[in-house]
Amino acid sequence: MNTKNQASDIHGKSYSRISVMLLILLATFAGILMQTSLGTAIPTLMKEFDINLSTAQQATTWFLLANGVMIPLTAYLATRVSTRLLHIIAYAILALGISITALTPATNSAWFMFLIGRVLAAIAVGVMMPLMQIVILNMFSIKQRATALGLSGLVIGMGPAIGPTLSGWILDQNHVIFGLTISNSWRTIFIIPLIVIIIALVLSPFIMKDVIPNKKVKLDILSLFYSVIGFGLFLLGFTNVATDGWTDVLNVISPIVLGMVLLAVFVLRQLKLEVPFLDIKVFKVKEFTITTITLILVTMAMYGVEMMLPTYLQNVHGLTPLNSGLTLLGGALMMGIISPVAGVLYNKVGVKRLVLVGLSIIAIGTVPFVFLSESTPTHIITVMYAVRMLGVALTMMPLTTRAMSALPTEMSTHATAANNTMRQVSSSIVVALLTSVTQNIMNTNAPNAALKTLDPIKYGAQSLTASMDGFRVAFAIGLSFAVVGLIIALFITNQKPETLEKDK
């Protein structure tokens, strides 16, 4: 066995870094598939459960909510609970959540059971995602982290695109693989992630080790309350924007405002506590704050196209969910291929140059989307999207690595939780912003309903124009995030990993 792969856990026992790394990547992949695979199955769920669109979208909304409110809690759990036990519990909850969802009777009255399964799965994924980064930060040296986090980009980058494509393929028709007939039922979507997470659960007691130092930290109940309710209300308000609009006081404005108030109280409390629930002081480190802000802008720029493109492809080009997913698959593969390479480049050239090049590629690659038309060839869109994802791959993991490396390892649990929380919140905001802006422009520029009867052809043409206006503005907003990110990135310190090692 290569001694470089050997390390000692907090009990002084030897273990294999690679084995632990492969296990958490395998399990996290199952979690991400659960997070993203239902997008193309919404119409099927509507038909099977006899529910409307807004009700079916709860499968995604409640997942995002439960996922978001769990992330800040991870800092406490990772500190208080042993690494191995926490992974086993998370994997078990995910397996339970997937099973409940897959076994839910297809009736209107049983929809709540489906949502319970989704919430349980989201709770597990909300712990697993930041926990993966914390484990990596504790297992590897600063110089090795870029490569390790780059490998995690294989999961984080490819999972979101593979999920919808895989679901579309499953729902398209029955498939025969190795002599076995794979049903096109919506339940089949959950088979692969369930098998993967069960394998991870069985292997965890033997492979997973306690690599995160633990200490007996008292749970501050008030902080937990402010965090869960504050983030929950804040994210709920933004998820309601798409259906209720920005002016809805009850469903949008009130939750957002109340959530912000509770979060402000949460922050003030953390600054006063001797042992904070979530250490906000990590943002006092300039390099951590700048790289985190840049990472947020990269995430928002990515969503600026990624979120709206499938709708454009299906509504304007008339593609099926499967074909629209296949159009984006090239970008997912690009993300998966380049993320590990980005880790190697980070070690050689440092973060600043890499991020400036990556954000420039994102910005340049987004410009053509601002000028899309209803006749833009699909293969051109595939190439442009892949170029953008090249830029995202060059920036996302290096920025995460630099943000974490700006702080001592003992602060990694709080830094990771803070970093992931900010990204989750920003993702929810940009989804709400783009959806509402696009829908508003479509509604404002939509032709008069009477024209549909008088001149159907002209009505269709004007409706298409209104849709394109909305999509172009959404893509332009995505471009603006990339440009602002490029400006912020100029203030990043271009230190290489070996320099950081010496500084510490």
Share of the chain above pLDDT 90, in %: 27
What's the structural domain count of the chain?
3
Strand residue runs (E) in 84-174: none
- Whether residues 316 and 338 fall in one domain: yes
Residues 6+ apart with CB under 8 A from 172: 184, 320, 322
- Whether residues 253 and 368 fall in one domain: no
- Whether residues 256 and 199 fall in one domain: no
- Whether residues 175 and 290 fall in one domain: no
Residue that terminates a domain, selected from 186, 201, 216:
216
Task: Tell me how far CA of residue 3 lies from CA of 23, 234, 440, in angstroms.
Answer: 19, 48, 59
- Whether residues 232 and 203 fall in one domain: no
- Whether residues 123 and 148 fall in one domain: yes
pLDDT at position 479 is: 93
Q: 161: how many CB neighbours lie within 10 A of its CB? A: 26
Q: Which residue has the higher pLDDT, 348 or 254?
A: 254
- Whether residues 233 and 261 fall in one domain: yes
Q: Average the pLDDT over 52-81 and give the result.
A: 79
- Regarding pTM above 0.75, the answer is yes
- Whether residues 470 and 503 fall in one domain: yes
- Whether residues 23 and 109 fall in one domain: yes
Mean confidence (pLDDT) of the chain: 83
Task: Give the single-character DSSP code of 81.
Answer: S
Q: Which residue has the higher pLDDT, 441 or 428?
A: 441
How far apart (Å, rounded) are the C-alpha atoms in residues 152 and 28?
9
Q: Average the pLDDT over 456-471 and give the result.
A: 80
Residues 6+ apart with CB under 8 A from 286: none
Cβ atoms of residues 150 and 344 within 8 Å: yes
Q: pLDDT for 169-216, tens place per residue?
A: 776 666 554 455 555 577 888 888 899 999 999 999 999 999 988 888
Structure tokens at 356: 């400036």
Amino acid at 76: Y
The rounded Cα 66 to chain-centroid distance in angstroms is 13
Largest CA distance in the chain: 80
- Whether residues 83 and 16 fall in one domain: yes
- Whether residues 191 and 322 fall in one domain: no
Residue that terminates a domain, selected from 256, 276, 296:
276
Q: pLDDT for 100-114, tens place per residue?
A: 998 998 888 899 999
Q: Which residue has the higher pLDDT, 258 or 319?
A: 258
How far apart (Å, rounded) are the C-alpha atoms in residues 328 and 332?
7
**Is 495 a residue whose pLDDT tops 70?**
no
- Whether residues 209 and 271 fall in one domain: no
Give the domain range for residue 191: 1-216
**Is 378 a residue whose pLDDT tops 50?**
yes
Residue that terminates a domain, selected from 176, 200, 216:
216
**Is 431 a residue whose pLDDT tops 80?**
no
CATH of the domain at 70: 1.20.1250.20
